[in-house]
A = this chain, B = another copy of it.
Amino acid sequence: MKQTTLGEARKLFGKPERVVWAVAKYQDNVSICPLGWKMNTSGSPPMMAISVAPPRFTHGLISKSGQCVLAWPGEDLAEATLLCGTKSGRDIDKFKEAKLTPLKGRHVDAPLVKECIANLECVVIGEMRSGDHTIFAIEILQAWVNENPKRVLCTVNDASGYDFLLQQGGYRFGVVKG
């Protein structure tokens, strides 16, 4: 074992990371924030946690509405993920710009995303600051799946087991070969 920086160490264990979109609505504002930082946190009740940076527009929408949808993009949504991750919902309508279709869920006001492979309707149960992000602990009320499933989008390295999709800036998207 040798000491190194966290950035160097993460090259060994940081990929693959599945991508999920946090979709939130408060009053007339709707936005989409792509995240790698999420985890399951409970089997019963079914819960997850997500980490969102406070400056993000979506952070305020989640915090004020107490709700979100977790929408899982497939391999056809790498470009949309990049757009939603690099523009702010303060400036653009992400559904419109990324050509996405909002669908009405059963339990929350935030929309499902028709083009995603699955959507989870969630309510916020707890909130904790962790450094420069907020951890939202959320309960999953309802799951929805696409009738035409695709492979889940990941951030990846250059291993041969991936089909590579798109690279820009620090992002490198791909999917595990099917």
Contact = CB atoms under 8 A, between A and B. Distances in A.
A13 B125 CA distance: 23
Interface of A: 1-6, 8-9, 12-13, 15-18, 20, 36-47, 49-51, 72, 103, 106, 112, 114, 117-120, 125-126, 128-133, 135, 137, 139-140, 142-147, 149, 151-152, 154, 159-163, 176-178
B2 A147 contact: yes
B177 A118 contact: no
Contacts of A2: 144-145, 147
B44 A131 contact: yes
Contact of A125 (B37, B38, B130, B147): B130
Given A5-B143, A40-B36, A42-B131, A13 B117 contact: yes
Contact of A51 (B41, B44, B144): B41
Nearest to A1: B144
A133 to B, nearest CB: 5
Contact of A131 (B41, B117, B132): B41
Given A2-B144, A152-B13, A160 B178 contact: yes
A2 B103 CA distance: 11
